[in-house]
Structure formats: structure tokens, C-alpha cells
Structure 1
Amino acid sequence: MKQLWLYSIRSYLRLGLFFYFKKVEVINLKAIPKDEPVIFLANHQNALLDAILIAVKNGRFSYFLTRASVFSVPLISKMLQSLQMLPVYRVRDGFGNLSKNTSVFTKSSQLLHEKKAIVIFPEGNHNLKRTVRPLSKGFTRIIFQTLEDYPETKINVVPVGLNFKHATKYSDSALINFGVPFQVGSELLNDKNKSVLQLKEDVFLQLCQLTTHIESENYDIIITYLEKLNVDFTQPKHVNQCISNGFETCKKGLPEHDHRLKRLSKVLLIINLFIPYIIWKKMIQPKISEVEFISTFRFVIAITLVPVFIIVVMSVLGVVFELKYAFIYLFSVIVLNIFSVKL
């Protein structure tokens, strides 16, 4: 039953991502082990959308270490736990709660021993800046505890670079850039302090290659110049080379223009989905305090409120007129969505 639930949710999210993103590209997926313990370590830019993309596209039913604050509502907590999310407590959650992480890390070690996959965002928070922030050592604690409790275990570490062309816009394009897995074992326990530093450095360096990485110094100047060049941020290798070569090898991108059919489709789509659109624009978006959550909440509206509204309209059309008009409406909405997103 649990597998059926997870398959159903993943399939629904995959469908939602198809209608939400113009394109989602995945690189190096075949290199990920299927029946071995894996710990995915990803950069964190776009709030919950980061986790959704990895969950849908990594080919495994993974467990996610998630900040504990989102588990505060009992019903939401049960839902998140059913989706294999584990709460992690931070200082801001209260010093008294930090001890609860012990059981979470123990659970994570057991999962790795059972050859499961775990996803962690080691930067510790999200930020739309195109830079890899310093990594916390929480993931190393899980690795060491696993190797201490289960010395025979070999853990596959997979850095993941998440890249968005325009993270807050609709529609956007994304790249999930899986790094080269490297395996670690009990040899790390010989010198823990050295191993912690080495692990963090190895993961950090890979992440800097898998996503656009702009150093903090002169960040604003560099990002402004890159945006003027209209570089494609879903091509991090080219963008990073552009930066390292002093912009001499930069390829200037063509300006993005909305096709007339695309603009018309957006207007007609809004008309057909006017109630969800108004709720989003007038009630939800103005209350979002962190820009990183814009895409997440927009996507949640797209996969919850929009389908409900479509079903209601179809029901009314089917009862008042004929069933064929209900399906004409559904077909129209699907076509308009595809044109407004994919063109």
C-alpha cells in the first residue's frame, strides 16, 4: 500500500511538473546506484520545489531531511511523514528540541544500512543567489554514525546541482545535474576530523561545478553582467567558464520574446482559470515574505486548487449542458496550458 501511495504521488507530481516547467533536463541519472545506499547532497535555491524535482527525477523513492517547522500542524505532519520526510531541528526551533535530532540521525543511518536513499540540503537553508554556500557538517554526522553502527556499509555520495533559468517566473526551465557518485566506507573513521573536512570539500567542489557558482566578492557586479548577457543558467559549465575566463568566452544569449500565440494562450488560460488566478494574485502571493517560496506556492496552487476548479466547472457544464462541453473545456485548458508554458 505504501509503494502504491508513493507511486501515485510521484506520478501526479511528474504530471504537475510537465505542465508547470517549460523544460526539465536531467544529467547523469544512469550513474546513480539503484540498489545501494545513497545520500544525495544538493544545493538549495528554490524552497520545496528543489525537493520535488529530486524526488520525481532521481529514479528512487528517497527519504528527505526537512526542517522541523513544517511539521507543526498534525495533519500536515502525517502527510509529510507518509512522503518519507524526516524532521530536522535547528537552533531557531529551540535548544531543547536539538536532542530530537539524535533519533532522526539514527533512523537515517538505519535507512542507509537498508540500502535506501536519503536527500539532504547541506547548505542548511535556501537562497536564490547563484552561489554554493558553506556546507554544514550534519550530513557527515549521518555518514559517520552509519559507518560506526554498520562498518560493512559502503555509502554512495551523490552531489546534486539544481539550476533554474528564472526561478521565480512562470514558466521556467530547470536542470538537475547529478554529480559523479563516490563511495565512502569505514576507512573514514581512522581520522574523523580530517575526514569531515575532506568530505565537505569534495562535495562543495562538485556542487560548484554542477551549478552556477559566483563568489560572494563582487557577486552583484557579476550577476548583473551575466543577466545583461542573457546567459543560460541551466548550462552551469558554460556560465562558470565564462566567469573564470573574465567573460571573454561568454556566449550572449538571444533575448526571450513571448510568441504571440504564447501571450494569447496565457490570457485565455487566465480567463478559464480566473478564480484560482485571483486567489493566487490577490490572496496568496502578496503574503509570501520570502521570494524563494514564490515558485513553490505557485506550483502547489497549480496541482491542488486548479484541478479542483476544473472539476467543478466540468461538473456544472456536464449537468447544465452536455457532457461533451465539459470535456471540450478540459481539452481547451490543457491545450492553452501547453501553449503558454512550452512555447
Structure 2
Amino acid sequence: MKYEKWSLGYWLLKQYVRFVDWIIHKKIILNGTENIPRNKPILIAPNHQNALSDPMAILLHTRFQPVWLARADIFKPGIITLALRFLKIMPVYRMRDGKDQLAKNEKTFADSIKVLENNCALALFPEAAHSAKRQMLSHKKAVPRIVFQAEEKAENNLDIHIVPTGIYYSSYWKFNRSVMVNFGKPLLVNDFLEAYNENPSAATLTLRDALEKAIEPLTINIKSKENYEIFELIRAIYGKAFARKTGQQNGFVQRFKSDQQLVKKLDELEPNNKEKTEKICNAAKRFDAQVRKYGLRSWLVENPENNFWKLGFNKLLLLITLPVFAYGFLFNAIPFIAIDTIVRKKIKDFAFWSSFSLVLGFTLFPIVYLLELWAVAAWLPLWWHKLLFIVSLPFAGKLAFRWYILLLKTIGRGRLFILKAFRKQQWQSLKNQQEKLFDELDKIV
């Protein structure tokens, strides 16, 4: 297979999956696309946290048909291998695959060089594994080795550009999540060639470290191993307040930038003041436990003003839009609930939840929609009625889900109203607990 060739079948599949991806996400934000050069051999090097969703975030939202390198153990004999090759994914063999398998990498590297020689996009995860955390793993040497070998074969005439890329998700698997892809300024392999000619091993390490340093500002990287979960909890509880404190507006991109600063402050605190870190972490855990005890969320406790009026407005909006929810739920509930149940019960690795949900979604939903069209066809006499019906289903499903989220928020507001009105002592205790936690966090930032 000539991976560097443009594929019509790939392009058609990409358009369909791009629509499905749009349905799944609330927001899709691309930053730094001007950093991706044209008419140059490109190697896209993103962080890796969310299995198949990571390459989808790149290939669905750029002009390329990038050729990906992936670990060889996913290439099972038969249809799986055929599908992966159709998707322009090439195997990379590791020592754990068997020492005798490593020789097969020669073909992979040769094919990779062809991709670069034809000014196409190659893509590779420098970490060589996904973490399922907002935490970068140590980079491996594969990216420098491939680009140096390619330049060596082409007598240093390729001018390869490595594009550091950061992928950030508001949630790793929830429906209606947001995703942001940040493309950084490219690293020019030409800048490292002289050092490579003098000392290949040292230059490989230098380029590896330079790439890791270039990717880190493009994503959120919680470095703490001991307190990772608590720092992530603090980010969720205190993030909005910190954004306001630093003068950031309440938008997805602005919140991402302020969260980067907050995480950096927490990571700096941990080695310098372990006692203070432990005190703040314990306070955050206690506050979170109390919030959950009352069936609330921290954002409700943080902003309880005008809750009565917001509660009334939400109820009215839910009532008015109930028919929209009923329509969307009726024709989308079966595949949505089925996929959610299968993924949660059968997929043990949390990092693969979004990947399996995506694959099951773009295969199962069309089948169910066609069956539903067949079931109601007798009530839709005209062809354009049928077309309008089937086209409306995914949009109605997305609206139904957002109605459901509004319902959950309204229930939360109802619990907040009851707590403030009838259990004032408990409410005041909870509010005081939050204010003390925020005061402690204000001091360290």
C-alpha cells in the first residue's frame, strides 16, 4: 500500500466521521493552524491521553490524510489489519513484541520516509503510550530517529518540520464534551542536523527533549504523581475562581490558560511545602465529600446568588422544550443507552471508553435510524418527509441530551434551594468550608 497517496475512500469516511464527531462535541477549537506549513514534509507530534480520540482530533480537523504510526500489537490478522491499513496506520514493533519482530520496523521506517519525501503528513505520539490523565509521559526516541533517518537518506534535502501539538478535553469520554487542539511553532530538523552529524545519539536526545519542552505549554500537564487526583479535583473546584482572580474571561480557551497557571502553582508548591500541600489537599477532599453528601456540585456552592429565579426559569424552559426532548429521546435512547452500557461494563481501560463509544456510535446509530424510518414510513407519505425525519434524528438526540443536562442542573438548584431555605446551619457550614479552602488557595497563587 502506498500510504502517501491521497485516498477517496478515506476522504469520504472522514466526512461522515467528522459529522459524528461534531454531534459528540459541544465545542471543537483549533489554535495555531497557521503554524502548520504548506508544501513541506510534516511530522505532527501530539500528546497522547485518550486512545483513538487523539488521532481523530488531529485528522478530522486538518486538511491532511496523515499517516499514523501505532504499536504493532493492535494489528490483528484479518479485517482489523485491513481496516488499520485503510486508515493509514502503520505498525511499530517494540521489544515486548519479540526481538525477532524488530526487523519489521525497517519497512515501517522506509514507508515513513516515503511519506515525508512526498511532502505528506506523518503523525506519531512521542510518548508511545496513552496515560488517560492530564499528565505527559516521558518521550521516547522514535520521532528523532525517524526524521534523522529520513534526512540522512535524502542527503539532508527534505527540510522536515515537526509540529508540536497539544490536545485538551473538557472530559475524556462524556457526550457533549469540548476539545481543543493547539498547534505550536514547528521544530526544524535542519537546526539539529549539524549536531546529528557530529554525535547522532546526543542529537537524538536533544531533539527529543526539545519536542517535549515544545508540547508541554500546549496542554495541561499535572506533574505530581502523589497528588494528581487531588490537584485535578482542585482544578475543578477552584478553577473558575482562579480564572477571575487572574483576570481571565469565562471562556473555554481562557479557562484552559488559567488552569495551566493553577496547575503550575500547585506543582511548584508540592516539593517546596509538603505540609501546606497536604493541608490544602485534605481540605479539598473534605469539601468535595460534603458537597456530594448534599447532592450538589461545587459551582452551585460557589455561585448561589439568584438561585430561586434561575430555578424558576429553568423549570419553565424545561416545560416549554419537553416535546423536543421527548422526540429526541424516543428515537435516540436505545442506541445511546446500549452503547453507554456496553462501554462501561465491557471496556476495562477507561482510556478506551471514548474510542469505543465513537466506533459503536457511527456504526449502530445509522442502523437504528434506518429501522426507525422503516417503522414510521407509513405515516410519512412523501419522500421529503422521510428525508426530513431521518436527518432530524441526530440533531434531536443532541438537543435531548442537553435538555437532560439542564434537568440535572435544575435538580441541583432545587437541592440548593432546600438546603439554603430549610437547613441554614448546614448550608452556612458548607459555605464557610468553601471560603476557607479558597482563602488558602488564594494565598499560594
Counterpart pick for 1:308 among 344, 364, 367: 367
Does residue 141 of the first structure (1) align with residue 145 of the second (2)?
yes
* Contact 2:126-2:141 at 8 Å conserved across structures: yes
- Measure the CA separation in 1 of the matches of 2:97 and 2:212: 26
* Contact 1:318-1:325 at 8 Å conserved across structures: no
- Measure the CA separation in 1 of the matches of 2:232 and 2:342: 32
Deviation for aligned residue 1:63:
0.4
Secondary structure, counterpart of 2:171 in structure 1: coil
| Residue pairs, 1:187-336, within 5 angstroms | 187=194, 188-217=196-225, 218-230=227-239, 235-246=255-266, 268-318=327-377, 322-323=381-382, 326-327=386-387, 329-336=389-396
- Measure the CA separation in 2 of the matches of 1:104 and 1:158: 21
Match of residue 181 from structure 1: 186
- Measure the CA separation in 2 of the matches of 1:17 and 1:226: 26
Question: Identity of aligned pairs, percent?
Answer: 27
Deviation for aligned residue 1:59:
2.0
* Contact 1:159-1:181 at 8 Å conserved across structures: yes
Q: TM-score, normalised by structure 1?
A: 0.88
With over 3 angstroms needed to count, the CA separation of the structure-2 counterparts of 1:19 and 1:194, relative to structure 1, is: same
Q: Deviations over 1:273-325 (max 9, x none)?
A: 24323431443431001001111111112211101211222133225753465
* Contact 1:270-1:277 at 8 Å conserved across structures: no
Does residue 337 of the first structure (1) align with residue 397 of the second (2)?
yes
Letter matched to residue 158 of structure 2: T
* Contact 2:222-2:231 at 8 Å conserved across structures: yes
Q: TM-score, normalised by structure 2?
A: 0.69
* Contact 2:46-2:125 at 8 Å conserved across structures: yes
Deviation for aligned residue 1:128:
1.8
Unaligned runs of 5+ in 2: 241-250, 269-297, 304-309, 404-445
Answer with 307-316 or 87-96: which moved more.
Answer: 87-96
Secondary structure, counterpart of 2:7 in structure 1: helix
Count of residue pairs the alignment pairs up: 339
Match of residue 27 from structure 1: 31
Letter matched to residue 162 of structure 2: V
Deviation for aligned residue 1:195:
1.2
- Measure the CA separation in 2 of the matches of 1:203 and 1:210: 11
- Measure the CA separation in 1 of the matches of 2:26 and 2:103: 43
Deviation for aligned residue 1:233:
7.7
Letter matched to residue 36 of structure 1: K
With over 3 angstroms needed to count, the CA separation of the structure-2 counterparts of 1:322 and 1:163, relative to structure 1, is: same
Deviation for aligned residue 1:175:
0.3
Deviation for aligned residue 1:268:
5.0
Counterpart pick for 2:114 among 68, 86, 110: 110
Secondary structure, counterpart of 1:57 in structure 2: coil
Counterpart pick for 2:175 among 170, 175, 183: 170
- Measure the CA separation in 2 of the matches of 1:168 and 1:230: 20
- Measure the CA separation in 1 of the matches of 2:143 and 2:137: 15
Does residue 161 of the first structure (1) align with residue 166 of the second (2)?
yes
* Contact 2:231-2:266 at 8 Å conserved across structures: no
Letter matched to residue 74 of structure 1: G
Higher-RCO chain (CA-CA 8 Å, sequence separation at least 6): 1
